[in-house]
Amino acid sequence: MKGVSIVSFNPLEQHGIPLERQIRDWQELNVSPVDPDMEDPYTKCRIIALNGIEVESIFFGHQFHRNTPDIELKQRLAEIRYIEHQQQKVVNWLLPGQASVLETTISYEQVAVDLTAWLARMEPDPYLKQAYEFGVLEDFDHLYRYANLYEMIEHRQAEKLVDQLTEVMPGRPTMMHHRHPVDNVREPYDRSTVDPRSRLHALTITAAEQQTMNFYMNVGPQYMTPIARQLYQEIGLVEEEHVTHYGSLLDPGETWLERLVLHEYNECYLYYSFMQTESNPRIKQIWELHLNMELEHLRIACDLMRTQEGRDPESFLPAELPEPVTFEPNKPYLRELLATQIDITTLGTGYVREAHERFQRMQEMVNGKEKPPSEHVIDDHRARFGRDYRMETDGPHPVPALREPGEEQA
Ligand SMILES: [Fe+2]
Ligand SMILES: [Fe+2]
Ligand SMILES: [Fe+2]
Ligand SMILES: [Fe+2]
């Protein structure tokens, strides 16, 4: 295995593992999961994020091959896709079987909060940055709703899972996330002028949110408790909105091969990034192995682009990998967003502060007859425990109206 320089790293100049040597047998796929009570929640976040990245690369590969008549290209895609799928099996199977669905859910929302916040902080384009700042306040609220459900039905506190790294308190209330579908479509970036980092950011967050959507689609009905089943339906539909919101940022003018190159480049970027910060040495080795596989996927994708389109991938890829994507606390940043952006909604492809007519019509259709599950779960928790579950490590909630009743003046 090659040593990897931390200073500057251009994946186009590195040699990976030849494709035919990437196939793993059952023993190699049979990885031991991480310890469910492990001390670093961000290791679990990296696993969940990379699983989302691999799932996206698999589904993108399937769509690509259904949209090309070229048999040789289909065969090449099938070869790469099989490896992506083995990688997905290894990555997702690192999650411990002892974790309940709800515990994994809480980790999914922790990923959404701290990944989106990091991307928002680093994003150079103001319109894209606004899209991330808008979305993060919603997943922040999902974390709070699920944490309340968790204490109610599993009698444990979310602090055990998120540690002190991510605060748990209300964000933009989930009932306000139910916008008219038309208002979830954003404008795409322009592929001819966009900063290369922006393309990677948009691809990463779309993949992560899409996997969250898939996860809730499938696990929601596994609960017997009615409020749990209902909350997964409600938040699952918001994730549909998020996938629309983020997916529409990608320029549809990119060719299929350009998108293949970008997917592989982004996989290199994320495995490289997480290698830099991974606290568990055994998991770090997996990230390094997968990076060395991705380098070869990238080389193949770039070759396909050169031969089939006569274009140079160097013309749109950065000269070296951008600053590593990092899971780290974003508490002051999130508090600032809570204080300034909680009352925003979308109108067309932009943002407004007032509840416009189409928003109100949608609200009336979904929330009009009775309170949504995301409100019920807090009411039920308060009825049982005398208050909601929250973990405010840095002081009272920045929005007085979202403090516990009776503590608004705190
Ligand atoms: Fe992959
Ligand atoms: Fe969410
Ligand atoms: Fe989301
Ligand atoms: Fe790949």
| Tens-binned pLDDT, residue by residue, of the chain (410 aa) | 444 545 689 999 999 999 999 999 999 999 999 998 777 999 999 999 999 999 999 999 999 999 999 999 999 999 999 999 999 999 999 999 999 999 999 999 999 999 999 999 999 999 999 999 999 999 999 999 999 999 999 999 999 999 999 999 999 999 999 999 999 999 999 999 999 999 999 999 999 999 999 999 999 999 999 999 999 999 999 999 999 999 999 999 999 999 999 999 999 999 999 999 999 999 999 999 999 999 999 999 999 999 999 999 999 999 999 999 999 999 999 999 999 999 999 999 999 998 999 999 999 999 999 999 999 999 999 999 999 999 999 999 999 999 988 887 75
Question: Rounded to whole angstroms, how far apart are CA atoms 294 and 316?
Answer: 18
- Measured in whole angstroms, how far is the alpha carbon of residue 300 from the centre of its chain? 26
Q: Phi, psi at residue 347, to the nearest 5°?
A: -140, 115
Cα 138 to ligand 2 centroid, rounded to whole Å: 7
Is the Cβ–Cβ distance between 252 and 188 less than 8 Å?
Answer: yes
Ligand nearest to the CA of 239: 3
Q: Which of 151, 147, 174, 172 is nearest to 162 (CA)?
A: 147
Cα 111 to ligand 4 centroid, rounded to whole Å: 21
Four-residue CA torsion sign, 262, 268, 274, 277:
negative
What is residue 87's DSSP assignment?
H
Cα 236 to ligand 4 centroid, rounded to whole Å: 27
Cα 135 to ligand 1 centroid, rounded to whole Å: 26
pLDDT value of position 407: 80
Cα 358 to ligand 3 centroid, rounded to whole Å: 22
Ligand nearest to the CA of 140: 2
Cα 346 to ligand 4 centroid, rounded to whole Å: 34
Whole-angstrom CA distances from 350 to 140, 184, 347 are 21, 9, 5
Show the DSSP H helices in 310-356 as ranges.
331-341
Ligand 4 ion: residues within 5 Å (CB): 264, 267, 294, 297
Is the Cβ–Cβ distance between 195 and 188 less than 8 Å?
Answer: no
Ligand 2 ion: residues within 5 Å (CB): 139, 142
Whole-angstrom CA distances from 313 to 12, 204, 212 are 9, 19, 31
pLDDT value of position 3: 47
Show the DSSP H helices in 123-195 as ranges.
126-154, 159-162
393 CB neighbour count, 10 Å cutoff: 14
Cα 391 to ligand 1 centroid, rounded to whole Å: 35
- Measured in whole angstroms, how far is the alpha carbon of residue 74 from the centre of its chain? 28
Ligand nearest to the CA of 54: 1
What is residue 250's DSSP assignment?
S
Cα 300 to ligand 4 centroid, rounded to whole Å: 10
Question: Rounded to whole angstroms, how far apart are CA atoms 60 and 208?
Answer: 14
Ligand nearest to the CA of 108: 2
Find where tokens 């003018």 sit: 253
- Cα atoms in the 13 Å half-sphere on the side-chain side of 23: 7
Reported pTM: 0.97
pLDDT value of position 63: 98
Cα 101 to ligand 2 centroid, rounded to whole Å: 15
347 CB neighbour count, 10 Å cutoff: 17
| The one-letter amino acid at 394 | D
Cα 298 to ligand 4 centroid, rounded to whole Å: 7
Is the Cβ–Cβ distance between 162 and 105 less than 8 Å?
Answer: no
pLDDT value of position 7: 63
